[in-house]
Structure formats: structure tokens, C-alpha cells
Amino acid sequence: MALFAFAAVLLLAFTSSSSATWCVCKEGSDTILQKTLDYACGAGADCNPLHQNGPCFQPNTVRAHCNYAVNSYFQRKGQAQGSCDFAGTATVTASDPSKSSTLLFSSSFFIRGIS
């Protein structure tokens, strides 16, 4: 019985990880991304880690902070449909952004964000 329970938990872990999604900011000017960042932080994203000396402050770019903020909001909303639009400035991705070679993210958030 214990072996069956372990196998079921293991199967569930592999199945649920394949449906993981993240919210990231689309290409845009720093002005647009800053507005998206400000909105996400004001609407419920946990932006405390983005503060200076915070664990996700680096890289200190508007784009990186925008990505963190919209993903925080999206995860806090349970990845609900429509919670990653931000007036067309963000999009959902199934590719883990912390593993992208072209985008800079704080991988600690994106890993924690789905747990």
C-alpha cells in the first residue's frame, strides 16, 4: 500500500510539473514596462524581494523587475486565465524563464513561484 501511495505521489509530481506556466513581460519600452511593474505590485504581487538589497533585486533592470512582478501576481492568482495580460504587456509561457539564455531572471523566484 505504501508503495502504491509513493508511486501515486511521484506520478502526480511529474504530471503537475509539465503543466507549469509563468507570466513574463512582452518586449516594450522601459516606460511601459515600469507601468506594468507598478500596476502588478499595487494589485497584489509580492514585490518586497525587488527592493534594494532584496534577494531578487539583481539584475536591477526594469524588464527583470517587471517579469518578477507579473509572475508573482500570476502565481498568487493561481495562474487564472486573464491574470497575465496587463493590458497586453505580458504573456503566459510554458518555458521556464529561469532557464532561458536570452532573458535574465531571478531563478529562485520562478522555482518558488510554482510551489
Domains of the chain by residue range: 28-113
| Nearest-angstrom CA–CA distance, 21 and 52 | 27
- Which CA distances in Å does 86 have to 45, 94, 109, 110? 12, 18, 20, 19
Report, in angstroms and rounded to the nearest whole number, the Rg of the chain calculated over CA atoms: 16
Do the beta carbons of residue 65 and residue 71 sit within 8 Å? no
Q: What is the pLDDT of residues 27-78, one digit of tens each?
A: 999 999 999 999 999 999 999 999 999 999 999 999 999 999 999 999 999 9
Read off the pLDDT of residues 69-91 as tens digits, 9 standing for 90 and up.
Answer: 999 999 999 999 999 999 999 99
Angle CA 57–62–97, to nearest 5: 75
Local structure of residue 28 (DSSP, 8 states): -
Question: Could you tell me if 42 and 69 are in contact, meaning their C-beta atoms sit under 8 angstroms apart?
Answer: no
